[in-house]
Amino acid sequence: MKTQVAIIGAGPSGLLLGQLLHKAGIDAIILERQSPDYVLGRIRAGVLEQVATDLLDEAGVGQRMHAEGLVHTGFDMLFNGERHRIDLERLTGGRKVMVYGQTEVTRDLMEARKAAGLPTVYEAANVQVHDFDTTRPRVSYEKDGRSHTIECDFIAGCDGFHGVCRASVPRGAIQEFEKVYPFGWLGLLSDTPPVHHELIYVNSERGFALCSQRSHTRSRYYLQVPLTDKVEQWSDEAFWTELRLRLDPAAADKLVTGPSLEKSIAPLRSFVTEPLRFGRLFLAGDAGHIVPPTGAKGLNLAATDVKYLSNALIEFYQERSEAGIDSYSQRCLKRIWRAERFSWWFTSIMHRFPDEGAIHARLQQAELDYLMHSEAGLKTIAENYVGLPLDFGD
Ligand code: APR
Ligand code: PHB
């Protein structure tokens, strides 16, 4: 088999890349280790920056998002028992975010790919990438007990944090930066109306909480929990009781509870790989970097990596220029580090760090209090939350 771009991974990064390349007349095959249902079963964040919604429009998959997604012009921060609204629209000169689940983004991309008759191999086992330090890379895999090889011009590593692409790069050619946080997020999805029409990020004495949503009838809530906690220890009842204790009385009173549709614990990590290009192999999305979810930057960063990568590949095929692929890594990393910094900072001001002592909690409260009473402070939060423009710093 032959193709121009072999894409490893059919998460949002791989699927969006496939769609943008298809629009430009470039062939790609996607290889995915899991089944479509498994991919759609993963519940992840749900806040899209305008840059990401524009990209989904460009890829031709924005229709359902505009019909069903919820446009949010602000969110609340709750600390010291008081809620403060971050008016994104006012603070950023009119910018907003879109609340639309990653699962739905993935579903829309999958359907568009299917409708266009583009090739995706699901349940591809033992995917391996070869010869990406030459101009004729190959990808091998097994499907239904048979071995296959794809010859290609480029390999796009869109295979997430645990993928094979980053792991195949010689250790001496790659540098990794990592911080693991001393807690995780316990998430619960339920068919209950959201407690508030906007998101609430909570820093309470009992730890962080987040009230998010997927629609007017579906809620997503999170609790900061110790890394040692197991999801089996948390009954739905225990989750709702703890969430109520972290909310202000008005929200606690309004909270509607119900059975969980999904419950899971995710560790929090900041992680960046440098560089993101190794000859003819590129890393994009979670394969190259992870942010803690506070601030919901993961999917947005993945989308902009993919935009830079598709531009670079289009430039290569249409203009025979390698300028875009040569600058891919540097361009992405600049944006990635900005989002890493914000996600780390927002995580650090909104969570409780039990090992840091009482002074840390007081300093954190003072910082939050300062931010809420300073126009500059509010703008710092808002402009990072809505995200940088695609061409920032150019
Ligand atoms: N072979 C084939 N496919 C693989 C392999 C492999 N060896 N390893 C992983 N994959 C697949 C996974 O099964 C998954 O479907 O690659 C896909 C990677 O998808 P994601 O983990 O969703 O990563 P990405 O597409 O970059 O999306 C980034 O996900 O975690 C969130 O916050 C993050 O929202 C962001 C988004
Ligand atoms: C979510 O809805 O899952 C979500 C929203 C905002 C975040 C993180 C997760 O910052």
Sorted by where each begins, the domain ranges of the chain are 5-178+268-386
Q: What is the mean pLDDT of residues 182-205?
A: 98
pTM: 0.97
Candidates 289, 297, 307, 351; catalytic one: 297
Residue 230 is among the residues annotated as catalytic for this protein: no
Question: Which ligand neighbours the alpha carbon of 38 most closely?
Answer: 1
Q: Highest-confidence range of 41-50, 87-96, 356-365, by mean pLDDT?
A: 87-96
Q: From ligand 1's centre to the CA of 11, what distance in Å?
A: 5
Q: What is the mean pLDDT of residues 290-311?
A: 97
- The tokens for 392 are 């920032």
Residue 130 is among the residues annotated as catalytic for this protein: no
**SS3 annotation, 93-126:** CCCCEEECCHHHHHHHHHHHHHHCCCCEECCCEE
Instruction: Tell me how crowded residue 142 is: count the other CB atoms within 10 A of its CB.
Output: 14
Residue nearest to atom 22 of ligand 1 (CA): 11
State which ligand 2 atom lies nearest to the alpha carbon of 99. 2
State which ligand 2 atom lies nearest to the alpha carbon of 295. 10
What is 5-178+268-386's CATH topology?
FAD/NAD(P)-binding domain (3.50.50)
Where are the strands (E) in the chain, listed by range? 5-8, 28-31, 47-48, 70-72, 74-79, 82-87, 97-99, 120-121, 125-130, 138-143, 146-151, 154-157, 175-190, 200-204, 207-213, 219-226, 260-274, 277-278, 281-283, 289-290
pLDDT of residue 44: 87
Residue 354 is among the residues annotated as catalytic for this protein: no
Residue nearest to atom 6 of ligand 2 (CA): 296
Cβ of 164 below 6 Å from ligand 1: yes
Tens digit of each residue's pLDDT (9 = 90 or more) over 200-226: 999 999 999 999 999 999 999 999 999
